[in-house]
């Protein structure tokens, strides 16, 4: 049993232990009563070339924020700081997996962003063009993002763990002509041949005209004449200053792909003004960032956490941060604690999966290090179980640091539900993300859209537009409407289950749809199924999530075989490898089962509830209300035929 009360009390400095929350409640009330006025005040914290004519044009389901306003995200993140003493402040402490280090001050970052922007311009990249970034966690990745933002090009970062096919799908969807990659990236001591993978993608992706290659690993790579260019050669001719483009607030900043309920990932579009304003404010509220903070978010820039919480929010505040390239257990399981100690990290933000991994190896590893610089801890990406919360609180935070459990999504752009120590410390409950941020009107409803009662589980919706919200699904407005705005008209549907307790605290309970969270990464069961049926021996496939004590969800794959294919352990392994090669290592099934027939409803839909039950090792008897969907015999047969 977790001692909830004790943790909540200990996480707060005594003098601020106040209840009810005064400042927070007042600000939140003001923000939902007059959102336009509230957000206009927040927006004034950024630098604008021209202020907006209207704070919000809300034509459901499209919200246009700060209409008529002009700004530049790269200006917010670098130019603004080099005009002050921060020019000599450290922006990035970079640590390579192989022990290499680089330190970039704000002035060096400014210089590099300008030169990279010049490289893009010289290659003919113009405002509105899409640029694909397929890079490891090296400083060149944020620098290229900011360089794109500087000239108004729209970046689309593709996680460096994705396969050639996944890379190609995303590049193809945006029709990016330029791909930026590296000769290799380090992961657990091995080199991932990124350029080679990009070559494979280019073979099947006709939009790719140029590949810029960053030197990282020094591995030999093949360079195709006329298409491939080394970054150092391009930089040799680059200008040292490129004027930031004053962009409309509604100009897209980036497209980032995320998984939904179909096989095709969605290109989530974020626009410049709303996204920057929302993230700038939320970052201050959630992380209570101070000039002297040393901040470290362990996410990969390939996911939204990296976009908002490594690049745009911290840099817009002129924060000093750590970026680490590699695996958490390389060369051994205390690598992260060694980094915290060495750089004196004060704010540390990671995922529940990582915490559970460390728990498994025991507190001996963190206890070996001096972690007394830590002041605030954060968690993101999946529900954190109270046991992991307590372990984090005790052994990493030394029972002194509050934990901000931050709920948000690729689509929301920034943190939506979280404690806000930057406004006022909120008494914490292990496993609860506490309350919606100012400007966020969250509710939990039943399938008819009626608010559920205290303690009842329902679907989480957001009842108002907020500046960080996605602007669209790239090239697919219909999917934007259908996925987010049609289930509960006028409200944004998150796809998450949640409940509120007697104190009004929000508890996020996982996905309500066919999206899995594997080590905090989002993968749709349909993507896994599409990959599986592209294997020559597979006829039909169904994927289900199975609770995993460390990763959150694991993947169990059920397949029916084509005629003539022989069931064998080798075939299982081969199907597994095929899925992994098609999507990337994060989508590797934990188990593959052969099944004679997939249990389906009368209308032909796969009965995932049955498969989930099988995946979780339950019996057909545990499924009580199945009769109206299919015959119980069919379900029993499905169970019986599993191998
Ligand atoms: C989904 C969004 C948020 C950036 C990284 C993930 C789950 C996220 C929490 C949390 C419980 C969480 C939700 C959400 N999730 N944070 N603190 N507690 N669940 O972004 O890949 O778009 O995934 O992650 O299920 O819908 P994403």
Q: How far is the CA of 370 from the centre of ligand 1 (A)?
A: 30
Is residue 450 predicted with pLDDT exceeding 50? yes
Q: How far is the CA of 300 from the centre of ligand 1 (A)?
A: 14
The CB of 293 under 6 Å from ligand 1? The reply is no
Q: How far is the CA of 468 from the centre of ligand 1 (A)?
A: 15
Is residue 16 predicted with pLDDT exceeding 50? no
Lowest mean pLDDT among 4-13, 327-336, 380-389: 4-13
CA distance 277 to 285: 13
Q: How far is the CA of 309 from the centre of ligand 1 (A)?
A: 14
Q: What percent of the chain has pLDDT over 70?
A: 94
Q: How far is the CA of 264 from the centre of ligand 1 (A)?
A: 19
Q: What is the pLDDT of residue 442?
A: 98
Q: Is 145 helix (H, G, I), strand (E, B) or coil?
A: helix
Q: How far is the CA of 359 from the centre of ligand 1 (A)?
A: 21
Nearest residue (CA) to ligand 1, atom 20: 409
Q: State the residue for tokens 């796969």.
A: 606
Pocket test residue of 282, 409, 410, 432 for ligand 1, highest count of atoms within 8 A of CB: 409
The CB of 517 under 6 Å from ligand 1? The reply is yes
Q: What is the pLDDT of residue 291?
A: 98
Q: How far is the CA of 602 from the centre of ligand 1 (A)?
A: 33
Q: What is the pLDDT of residue 216?
A: 97
pLDDT-based confidence at 618, cuts 50/70/90?
confident
Is residue 266 predicted with pLDDT exceeding 80? yes
Nearest residue (CA) to ligand 1, atom 7: 382
The CB of 258 under 6 Å from ligand 1? The reply is yes
CA distance 32 to 578: 49
The CB of 316 under 6 Å from ligand 1? The reply is no
Is residue 14 predicted with pLDDT exceeding 80? no
The CB of 553 under 6 Å from ligand 1? The reply is no
Atom of ligand 1 nearest to the CA of 522: 21
Nearest residue (CA) to ligand 1, atom 18: 383
Q: pTM for the whole thing?
A: 0.94
Mean pLDDT of the chain: 94
Q: How far is the CA of 23 from the centre of ligand 1 (A)?
A: 27
| 543-592: pLDDT as tens digits | 999 999 999 999 999 999 999 999 999 999 999 999 999 999 999 999 99
Q: What is the pLDDT of residue 506?
A: 97
pLDDT-based confidence at 626, cuts 50/70/90?
low
Task: Answer whether the bond into residue 331 is a cis peptide, omega within 30°.
Answer: yes
Mean pLDDT of the 198-227 span: 97
Q: State the residue for tokens 């496939």.
A: 541
Pocket test residue of 505, 513, 517, 527 for ligand 1, highest count of atoms within 8 A of CB: 517
If one compares 113 and 600, the residue with the highest pLDDT of the two is: 113
Residue spans of the domains in the chain: they are: 514-640
Nearest residue (CA) to ligand 1, atom 10: 407
Q: How far is the CA of 618 from the centre of ligand 1 (A)?
A: 27
pLDDT-based confidence at 13, cuts 50/70/90?
very low
Encoded tokens for 403: 């934990």
Q: Is 473 helix (H, G, I), strand (E, B) or coil?
A: strand
The CB of 516 under 6 Å from ligand 1? The reply is no
Smallest CA-to-CA distance from 165 within 208, 136, 198, 206 is with 198
Distances (CA, A) of 537 to 486, 534, 543, 595, 605: 38, 9, 16, 13, 22
If one compares 111 and 15, the residue with the highest pLDDT of the two is: 111
pLDDT-based confidence at 630, cuts 50/70/90?
low
The CB of 425 under 6 Å from ligand 1? The reply is no
The CB of 409 under 6 Å from ligand 1? The reply is yes
The CB of 305 under 6 Å from ligand 1? The reply is yes
pLDDT-based confidence at 488, cuts 50/70/90?
very high
Smallest CA-to-CA distance from 211 within 223, 227, 197 is with 227
Smallest CA-to-CA distance from 385 within 409, 355, 410, 362 is with 355
Distances (CA, A) of 123 to 129, 210, 235, 346: 12, 9, 12, 41
Is residue 461 predicted with pLDDT exceeding 70? yes
Q: How far is the CA of 465 from the centre of ligand 1 (A)?
A: 19
**CATH architecture of the region 514-640:** 2-Layer Sandwich (3.30)
pLDDT-based confidence at 634, cuts 50/70/90?
low
Atom of ligand 1 nearest to the CA of 305: 4
Atom of ligand 1 nearest to the CA of 418: 17
CA distance 166 to 182: 17
| 495-541: pLDDT as tens digits | 999 999 999 999 999 999 999 999 999 999 999 999 999 999 999 99
CA distance 212 to 268: 24
The CB of 410 under 6 Å from ligand 1? The reply is yes
| 113-167: pLDDT as tens digits | 999 999 999 999 999 999 999 999 999 999 999 999 999 999 999 999 999 999 9
Q: How far is the CA of 258 from the centre of ligand 1 (A)?
A: 12
pLDDT-based confidence at 3, cuts 50/70/90?
very low
Is residue 641 predicted with pLDDT exceeding 80? no
The CB of 308 under 6 Å from ligand 1? The reply is no
Q: How far is the CA of 414 from the centre of ligand 1 (A)?
A: 11
Q: What is the pLDDT of residue 597?
A: 86
74 touches 149 (CB < 8 A): yes
Phi, psi of 442 (to 5 degrees): -95, 145
The CB of 417 under 6 Å from ligand 1? The reply is no
| 175-201: pLDDT as tens digits | 999 999 999 999 999 999 999 999 999
CA distance 25 to 282: 16
Is residue 17 predicted with pLDDT exceeding 50? no
Atom of ligand 1 nearest to the CA of 433: 17
515 touches 495 (CB < 8 A): yes
Q: How far is the CA of 546 from the centre of ligand 1 (A)?
A: 18
Q: How far is the CA of 254 from the centre of ligand 1 (A)?
A: 19
Is residue 635 predicted with pLDDT exceeding 90? no
Is residue 19 predicted with pLDDT exceeding 70? no
Q: How far is the CA of 351 from the centre of ligand 1 (A)?
A: 10
Is residue 348 predicted with pLDDT exceeding 70? yes
The CB of 382 under 6 Å from ligand 1? The reply is yes
Beta bridge partners, 542, equal 558
CA distance 508 to 505: 10
The CB of 304 under 6 Å from ligand 1? The reply is yes
pLDDT-based confidence at 629, cuts 50/70/90?
low
């Amino acid at each position: 049993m977790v001692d909830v009360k004790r943790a909540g009390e200990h996480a707060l400095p005594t003098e601020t232990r106040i209840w009810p929350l005064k400042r927070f409640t007042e600000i939140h009330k003001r923000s939902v009563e007059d959102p336009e006025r509230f957000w206009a005040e927040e927006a004034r914290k950024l630098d604008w070339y021209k202020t907006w004519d209207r704070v919000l044009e809300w034509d459901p389901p499209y919200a246009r924020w700060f209409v008529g306003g002009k700004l530049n995200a790269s200006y917010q993140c670098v130019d603004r700081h080099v005009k002050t003493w921060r020019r000599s402040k450290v922006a990035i402490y970079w640590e390579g997996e192989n022990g290499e280090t680089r330190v970039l001050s704000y002035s060096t970052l400014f210089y590099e962003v300008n030169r990279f922007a010049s490289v893009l311009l010289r290659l003919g990249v113009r405002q509105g063009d899409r640029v694909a970034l397929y890079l490891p966690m090296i400083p060149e990745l944020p620098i290229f993002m900011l360089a794109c933002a500087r000239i108004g090009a729209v970046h689309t970062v593709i996680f460096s763990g994705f396969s050639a096919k996944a890379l190609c799908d995303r590049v193809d969807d945006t029709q990016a002509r330029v791909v930026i990659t590296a000769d290799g990236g380090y992961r657990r001591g091995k080199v991932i041949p990124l350029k080679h993978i990009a070559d494979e993608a280019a073979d099947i992706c006709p939009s790719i005209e140029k590949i810029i290659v960053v030197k990282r690993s020094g591995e030999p790579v093949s360079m195709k004449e006329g298409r491939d260019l080394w970054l150092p050669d391009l930089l040799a001719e680059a200008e040292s200053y490129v004027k930031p483009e004053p962009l409309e607030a509604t100009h897209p900043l980036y497209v980032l792909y995320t998984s939904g309920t179909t096989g095709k990932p969605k290109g989530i579009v974020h626009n410049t003004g709303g996204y920057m304003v929302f993230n700038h404010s939320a970052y201050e509220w959630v992380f209570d960032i101070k000039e002297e903070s040393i901040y470290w978010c362990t996410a990969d820039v390939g996911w939204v956490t990296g976009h908002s919480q490594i690049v745009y929010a911290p840099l817009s505040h002129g924060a000093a941060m750590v970026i680490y390239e590699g695996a958490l257990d390389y060369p051994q399981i205390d690598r992260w604690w060694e980094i915290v100690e060495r750089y004196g990290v004060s704010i540390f933000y990671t995922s529940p999966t990582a915490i559970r991994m460390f728990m498994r190896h025991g507190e001996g590893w963190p206890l070996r290090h001096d972690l007394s610089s830590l002041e605030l801890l954060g968690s993101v990406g999946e529900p954190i179980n109270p046991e992991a919360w307590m372990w984090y609180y005790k052994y990493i935070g030394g029972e002194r640091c509050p934990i901000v459990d931050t709920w948000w999504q690729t689509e929301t752009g920034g943190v939506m539900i979280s404690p806000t120590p930057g406004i006022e410390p909120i008494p914490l409950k292990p496993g609860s993300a506490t309350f919606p941020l100012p400007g966020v009107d969250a509710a939990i409803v039943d399938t008819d859209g009626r608010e559920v009662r205290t303690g009842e589980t329902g679907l989480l919706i957001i009842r108002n537009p907020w500046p960080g919200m996605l602007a669209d699904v790239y090239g697919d407005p219909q999917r934007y409407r259908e996925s987010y705005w049609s289930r509960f008209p006028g409200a944004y549907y998150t796809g998450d289950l949640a409940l509120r307790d007697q104190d009004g605290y929000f508890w996020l309970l996982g996905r309500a749809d066919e999206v899995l969270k594997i080590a905090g990464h989002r993968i749709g069961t349909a993507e896994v199924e599409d990959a599986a049926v592209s294997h020559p021996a597979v006829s039909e496939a169904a994927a289900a999530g199975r609770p995993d004590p460390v990763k959150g969800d694991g993947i169990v794959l059920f397949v029916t075989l084509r005629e003539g294919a022989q069931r064998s352990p080798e075939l299982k392994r081969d199907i597994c490898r095929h899925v992994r090669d098609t999507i990337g290592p994060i989508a590797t099934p934990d188990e593959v089962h052969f099944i004679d027939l997939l249990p389906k409803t009368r209308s032909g839909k796969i009965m995932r509830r049955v498969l989930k039950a099988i995946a979780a090792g339950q019996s057909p008897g545990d499924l009580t209300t199945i009769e109206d969907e299919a015959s119980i015999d069919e379900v029993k047969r499905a169970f019986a035929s599993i191998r």
